[in-house]
Amino acid sequence: MTKVYVWSLATRFFHILLVLAVGLAYILSEVENFLSFHVALGYMVGLLLLYRIVWGFMDVRYSKFKDFNLNLRDLFAYMINVFGEKKEYVGHNPASSWAIVSMIVLALLAVVSGTLVYGTQEGMGVLSFLNATIFKDMELFEEIHEFFANALIAVVFVHIAGVVLDKVVHKSDAISSMKNGYKNVDAKSVELSLFQRVFGFIWIGSSVLFFVYMLVSPSNIMLEDANKRVDYKVKHELFYEECISCHTLYPPYLLPKESWITMMNDLENHFGDDASLEEEDKELIQEYLVKNAAENSTKESAYKILNSIDKKGIIAITKTKYWKKRHDDIDDEVFKNKNISKKSNCKACHKGIEQGLLNDKDIKIPK
Ligand code: HEC
Ligand code: HEC
């Protein structure tokens, strides 16, 4: 047996970049203010996958889809023989062939559904326009996205387990071959044409550059934000002046119509304060609040607050189930911090809230 070059540099580079991007994106999905980072990684994964699909149709020995063994009978034979005698596979064995195809499909579905969540829920990205129309499906898309992401990670772990098992039982050199490209087998080496080399270099390089570009220049169409700043002072000066004097200016979309009406009709007993107004002013502000209440907003927080209110007449945002759920992880001590002092001081952590912005990427808890 001789040393044979099986995995080209492009294939190995693709592999490691995909591992890093998917891994990081998965880990960071839990951290709200890393959303842009998560999305940038997602787009990069999308580009890498497209590359891999095109590569699979090019005439690259061992990497092309034609060289994958997707025969089910071979897969079962392989599985049964996991602990048995070693059988040599030059490229992908039946199990890894299946794993790779499943991973490509699941990762693509995760990227597409992720773009849909980003568009419907956040009003951001290439599909940001969808927030205005099908925002009510945001939770469905989120579930679908999580499903594909979790399924992908599950296959990744099965794949890793298979590779490790192969190494332990059969002393396979699959792992080292993904690093140096060589396997000890009797077969032909992979040879890339000049076109294939250039193609691989440019496409993979562009995926990385694209990712870097999105980080350094976030105001691009891929991260496009349909949530525009609202200048409430210009929109409704009276509302602005009256309702910002004691606390954060709460955007009207954070409560439903009924809550605003209840609140506005009892301003004398406003959370222990007297915030009463002239009847005429009260009417004008109430009209504005009702017109822009949660029912009339496509924002994630509006939609979710509205759906979480079961008790009618709730007038504190901080008493809604959705608010409580989203702030559940924050320790009570944090709210007592001198830069925050109380839960209702939203602007301490959400710097854009008084311009109507509650994007995940703008959340920052002061020290
Ligand atoms: C005289 C001071 C004062 C004025 C004026 C005032 N508020 Fe308040 N508001 C309070 C206090 C005090 C609370 C209790 C929470 C807090 O301590 O910040 C509160 C709480 C709220 C809450 C609930 C916040 C939560 O905990 O979720 C909303 C909503 C609210 N106010 C809306 C308004 C609106 C709309 C106006 C303008 C019509 C207004 N407020 C004007 C003093 C005021
Ligand atoms: C101590 C800082 C802090 C304060 C004060 C605070 N928040 Fe938050 N808020 C957060 C953090 C952190 C998250 C993200 C939680 C998570 O990861 O789900 C969050 C999430 C949210 C979300 C969900 C984000 C989204 O895109 O829908 C909304 C809505 C929200 N906050 C509204 C408010 C409002 C309204 C107030 C004031 C009544 C407030 N918050 C006060 C820290 C704070």
User: Does 257 have pLDDT greater than 90?
Assistant: yes
Summarised one tens digit per residue, pLDDT across range 166-214 is 888 878 888 888 888 888 877 788 888 888 889 889 999 999 999 999 8
Looking at every residue in the chain, the average pLDDT score rounds to 89
Q: What angle do CA 18, 65, 2 make, to 5 degrees?
A: 85
Q: Which two three-digit tokens encode residue 219?
A: 């105001």
Alpha-carbon span 163 to 155, nearest angstrom: 12
Lowest mean pLDDT among 55-64, 218-227, 308-317: 218-227
Q: Are 252 and 292 in contact (CB under 8 A)?
A: yes
Most confident of 134-148, 242-256, 291-305: 242-256
Q: Residue 270 Cα, ligand 1 centroid: separation in angstroms?
A: 7
**Dihedral of the CA atoms 154, 158, 161, 167 (nearest 10)?**
-140
Rounded CA separation 354/200 (Å): 48
- Give the model's pLDDT for residue 355: 93
Query: What is the distance in A from the centroid of ligand 1 to the CA of 361?
Result: 26
Atom 3 of ligand 1, residue of closest alpha carbon: 246
123: alpha, beta or left, given left = phi > 0 and alpha = psi -120 to 50? left
Identify which ligand lies nearest to the alpha carbon of 319: 1
Burial 315-348 (b: 16+ CB within 10 A, else e): bebeebebbeebeeeeeeeebeeeebeebbebbb
Percent of residues, the chain, with pLDDT higher than 90: 49
pLDDT at 300: 86
Share of the chain above pLDDT 70, in %: 99
| Residue 1: predicted pLDDT | 65
Per-residue model confidence (pLDDT) at position 220? 78
Write the pLDDT tens digit of every residue in 98-134.
999 999 999 999 999 999 999 888 888 888 888 878 8
- Residue 157 makes CB contacts below 8 A (sequence gap 6+) with none
Q: What is the pLDDT of residues 4-15, one digit of tens each?
A: 887 888 889 999
Q: How far is the CA of 347 from the centre of ligand 1 (A)?
A: 13
Residue 219's pLDDT band (boundaries 50, 70, 90)?
confident
Q: How far apart are CA 259 and CA 317, in angstroms?
A: 10
Residue 350 beta carbon below 6 angstroms from any ligand 2 atom: yes
Give the pLDDT band of residue 291 (cuts 50, 70, 90): very high
Which residue's CA is minimally distant from atom 15 of ligand 1? Answer: 344
Q: Which tokens hold the place of 19?
A: 């591992």
> From CA 12, how far away is CA 179, in angstroms rounded?
7
CB 254 within 8 A of CB 303: no
Identify the nearest ligand to the CA of 272 by its number.
1
- pLDDT tens digits, one per residue of 148-161: 999 999 999 999 99
- Calculate the CA dihedral of residues 138, 141, 142, 143 and round it to 10 degrees: 130
Find the angle CA(224)-CA(358)-CA(346) to the nearest 5 degrees: 155
- How many C-beta neighbours within 10 Å does residue 114 have? 27
pLDDT of residue 31: 79
Nearest to 144 by CA among 115, 121, 110, 119: 110
Q: Using CB atoms within 10 A of its CB, is residue 60 exposed (0-12), middle (13-18) or buried (19+)?
A: buried
CB neighbour burial string for 128-147, b if at least 16 within 10 angstroms, e if fewer: bebbeebbeebbebbebbee
Residue 216 has pLDDT above 80, yes or no: yes
Judged by phi (left if over 0) then psi (alpha if -120 to 50, else beta), residue 247 lies in beta
Angle at CA of residue 203, ends 199 and 205, nearest 5°: 115
Mutate to test the pocket of ligand 2, among 29, 346, 362, 365 (most ligand atoms within 8 A of CB): 346
Residue 327 beta carbon below 6 angstroms from any ligand 2 atom: yes
pLDDT in tens, 18-70: 999 999 999 998 877 788 889 999 999 999 999 999 998 988 888 888 888 88
Q: What is the pLDDT of residue 51?
A: 92
Q: Please tell me the number of the ligand nearest to residue 314's CA.
A: 1
- Kindly state if the Cβ of 111 falls inside 6 Å of ligand 2: no
